[in-house]
Amino acid sequence: RGLDDFRHGEHLLISGESVSELAHTVREACRQLSQYDSLVAASVTMVEQEYSWKAKADQVAAIIDKHYRARDT
């Protein structure tokens, strides 16, 4: 998993490849900060649910549980 999970305008802002395009994206975001409240909330939720230590530990525990259940049957 990686950045493919994140979507432009929902979890992050994707800018062009040039410095001027990046500067434009940052400047526009700073001018309209409140417009991005839902983007920030969605990003935080995604990171907490998918990428936090707890989320990763839960994924490892599920793999271990599946392995032991398969072994016991």
d(CA 40, CA 34): 10
d(CA 43, CA 8): 11
Three-class DSSP labels, 17-54: CCHHHHHHHHHHHHHCHHHHHHHHHHHHHHHHHHCCHH
pLDDT-derived band of residue 4, with 50, 70 and 90 as boundaries? confident
> Each residue of 14-64: pLDDT tens digit?
888 899 999 999 999 999 999 999 999 999 999 898 889 999 999 999 999
Q: State residue 73's pLDDT score.
A: 67
Q: State residue 28's pLDDT score.
A: 92
Distances (CA, A) of 33 to 13, 27, 37, 42, 70: 13, 10, 7, 15, 50
Q: State residue 9's pLDDT score.
A: 87
